[in-house]
């Protein structure tokens, strides 16, 4: 059974940093593109970033370029999202998802950016 | 403002058939396949339809998808109360700086 479990969310002040993690199991992690998708409170889904199987290609939505970094550790079956210079508009539930157009999703982790 | 356009709401009575549309452009729906997701209240999205009209294992055949040109549709037949949820379409976009786009979501109410 495919499982994706996010962690690392929480309350952070504007300008602060946070690192999200996603532990994957139930499939061959190193064979799949992986993605982060977010959902602001009461709003729709927004793709944030994705990363190729070997980490050699990474893509980001314009609003996070230069602030967020997606990475992965295939030996640990883990996906990460380093978020710096956080803004109020980054407040959202962040989902880890398998493949570029997701087929499996984690349960999400809430990031709140507020003073 | 989402790149893919969906109606914000839809409704139907139990047993009815409802459709939800998703309108895009030549750079996304027009040249790539469409996925549909169901998001029940307070839960993560779940894949409902992939590659325009394919159902993952376990998804009832009451759910079907189609695509024509730059638009796609999700149809739900034999509507049930447990179908009340938010539905999203998604597609790859070939435009510069845009890779994956979602619709704004449609809230389906079962009356």
Q: What pLDDT digit, counting tens, does each position of A3-42 carry? A: 999 999 999 999 999 999 999 999 999 999 999 999 999 9
Structure-token pair, residue A113:
């950016």
% helix, strand, coil for chain B, step of 5: 5, 50, 50
Nearest CA in chain B to A59: B99
- Give the closest-approach CA distance of A45 to chain B in angstroms: 6
Q: Is pLDDT of B96 > 80?
A: no
Given B56, B98, B102, which is nearest A45 (Cβ)? B102
The answer to whether A95 and A50 are in contact (CB under 8 A) is no
- Give the closest-approach CA distance of B95 to chain A in angstroms: 12
Residue B53: count of CB within 10 angstroms of its CB: 16
Task: Say which residues have a Cβ less than 8 Å from residue A74's Cβ, sequence separation at least 6.
Answer: A29, A30, A53, A54, A55
Q: How many residues does chain A have?
A: 115
The helix or strand, by DSSP H or E, that contains position A70, with its residue range, turns out to be strand A68-73
Q: Is pLDDT of A62 > 80?
A: yes
Given B43, B56, B99, which is nearest A50 (Cβ)? B99
Nearest CA in chain B to A99: B100
Between B1 and B76, where is the model more confident? B76
Q: Is pLDDT of B65 > 90?
A: yes
pLDDT of B1 reads 79
In this prediction, residues A67-94 reach a mean pLDDT of: 98
Task: Say which residues have a Cβ less than 8 Å from residue A24's Cβ, sequence separation at least 6.
Answer: A2, A3, A4, A34, A77, A78, A79, A96, A98
Chain A positions touching B98 (Cβ under 8 A) are 61
End-to-end CA distance of chain B: 28
Chain CA centroid to CA A33, Å: 12
Work out the mean pLDDT of chain B and round it to a whole number: 95
Q: Is pLDDT of B16 > 90?
A: yes
- Asked if A104's CB is within 8 angstroms of B37's CB, the reply is no
Provide the percentage of residues in chain B whose pLDDT is more than 90: 90
Residue A19 forms beta bridges with which residues?
A82
- Give the closest-approach CA distance of A95 to chain B in angstroms: 8
In this prediction, residues B7-13 reach a mean pLDDT of: 96
Residue A26: count of CB within 10 angstroms of its CB: 12
- Asked if A104's CB is within 8 angstroms of B45's CB, the reply is no
Provide the percentage of residues in chain B whose pLDDT is more than 70: 97
Chain A positions touching B93 (Cβ under 8 A) are none
Three-state secondary structure string covering B2-52 = CCEECCCEEEECCCCCEEEEEECCCCCCCCCCEEEEEECCCCCCEEEEECC
CA triplet B35, B38, B39: central angle to 5 degrees? 130
């Amino acid at each position: 059974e495919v499982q994706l479990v996010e962690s690392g969310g929480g309350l952070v002040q504007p300008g602060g940093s946070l690192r999200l993690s996603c532990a994957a199991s139930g499939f061959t992690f190193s064979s799949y593109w992986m993605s982060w998708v977010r959902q602001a409170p009461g709003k729709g889904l927004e793709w944030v970033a994705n990363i190729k199987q070997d980490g050699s290609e990474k893509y980001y939505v314009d609003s996070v370029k230069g602030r967020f970094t997606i990475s992965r550790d295939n030996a640990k079956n883990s996906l990460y999202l380093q978020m710096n210079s956080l803004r109020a508009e980054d407040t959202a539930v962040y989902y880890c998802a398998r493949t570029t157009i997701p087929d499996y999703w984690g349960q999400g982790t809430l990031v709140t950016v507020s003073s | 403002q989402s790149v893919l356009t969906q109606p914000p709401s839809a409704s139907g009575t139990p047993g009815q058939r409802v459709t939800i549309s998703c309108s895009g452009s030549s750079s996304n729906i027009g040249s790539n396949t469409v996925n549909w997701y169901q998001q029940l209240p307070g839960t993560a999205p779940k894949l409902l339809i992939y590659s325009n009209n394919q159902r993952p294992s376990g998804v009832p055949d009451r759910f079907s998808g189609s695509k024509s040109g730059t638009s796609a549709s999700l149809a739900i037949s034999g509507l049930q109360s447990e179908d009340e949820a938010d539905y999203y379409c998604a597609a790859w976009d070939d435009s510069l700086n845009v890779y994956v786009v979602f619709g704004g979501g449609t809230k389906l109410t079962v009356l």
